Copies of this chain bind each other. A is one copy, B any other.
Amino acid sequence: MSIVLGSNRYGKAENRIVRIYRDTPRHEIHDISVSTALRGDFAAAHLAGDQSQVLPTDTQKQTAYSFAKEKGLLSIESYALNLATHFVDHIAPVHNARIEVEEFAWERVVLDGTEHDHTWVRRGQETRTASVTVDGTGDAQRTWVIGGLKDLVILKSTGSEFAGFMQDQYTLLQPTNDRVMATSLTAEWRFSSTDVEWEDAYAQIRQLLIKQFAMVHSLALQQTLYEMGKAILEACPFITEVRLSAPNKHHFLYDLSPFGVENTNEVFYASDRPYGLIQTTVLHDDAPDAGPAWDSYTGLV
């Protein structure tokens, strides 16, 4: 038995780039954090400190900024595709590139009923995400694109139950037929193609997630998540797999009876920790190989 170098990668994480389009008086803004990770022939750097095959992380940063102008920054999926392909195609030692993007949404200020040309407030509802992996060159090149969102905090004040569950000697929980259900949703969806209207796809999928949360009478968070994934796959032929991770942000009914005050699902304590955490995958039974598509680099996306 001997000691060997295993899987490795390196890159520049969390490059904060703001791109303004100002070709007309009505500007547009795109605000992202992008991370780049390269795999390839880097054994000499590890074993001997030889950097001759190592493109500096600073160079990766410069490229990411320059591409925001050279290639444009409209849809994060296409921006990431450009960046990943560049590294694999043009930097010889690189076999595989992964680009992870978070996009922070801004909404245009409205004054006296009119949208302002160049002022925005940050929208806080959720962060849009994308992860692109490009592997290999030429005919052997393969590409995986994942879109997603995180931190979509959503709550319903009725239409949710949790009852009929398994019990053992540690079970104290009482069943409930009407509770607050809330989560901070992370959802990611794998595209089966790169020929997609990225902006339309995002808007459609986001709305489906919200609609299923609102409309499904929930017997469990698991059920709601499954219905979310199913709805996306049914509506979007260009999606082949959906992964959902949902903390159950507990809202505990506060006991006001010692004070002679009735509390019929009106006053709740919103707890921080611990929280339930449900993770579910819904996919096509013939979904193509995911390869390295889900292998997160920064943990942010």
Contacts and interface: CB of A to CB of B under 8 A. Distances in A.
A2 to B, nearest CB: 5
A180 B274 contact: no
Taking residues whose C-beta sits less than 8 angstroms from the other chain, chain A's interface range is: 35 or more
Contacts of A283: 3-4, 6
A109 interface: yes
Contacts of A137: none
Contacts of A162: 51, 56
A258 B61 CA distance: 14
Nearest to A28: B157
Contacts of A226: 5, 46-47
Contacts of A225: 46
Contact of A158 (B70, B106, B118): B118
A57 to B, nearest CB: 4
Contacts of A263: 69
Nearest to A246: B10
A172 B111 contact: no
A29 B65 CA distance: 33
Nearest to A226: B46
A280 interface: yes
Central interface residue in A17, A166, A169, by most chain B CB within 10 Å: A166
A89 interface: no
B266 A166 contact: no
A201 interface: no
Interface string A93-123: 1000000000000100101000010111111
A157 to B, nearest CB: 5
B222 A45 contact: yes
A180 B233 CA distance: 41
16 contacts: A6-B241, A6-B281, A14-B274, A18-B270, A33-B273, A37-B277, A49-B218, A51-B166, A66-B267, A109-B214, A111-B210, A120-B156, A121-B210, A122-B153, A272-B272, A272-B273
Interface of A: 1-22, 27, 29, 31, 33, 35, 37, 42, 45-59, 61-63, 65-66, 68-70, 90-91, 93, 106, 109, 111, 116, 118-126, 152-159, 162-173, 180, 210-211, 213-215, 218-220, 222-223, 225-226, 229-230, 233-234, 241, 247-248, 251, 254, 256, 258-259, 261-286, 297-299
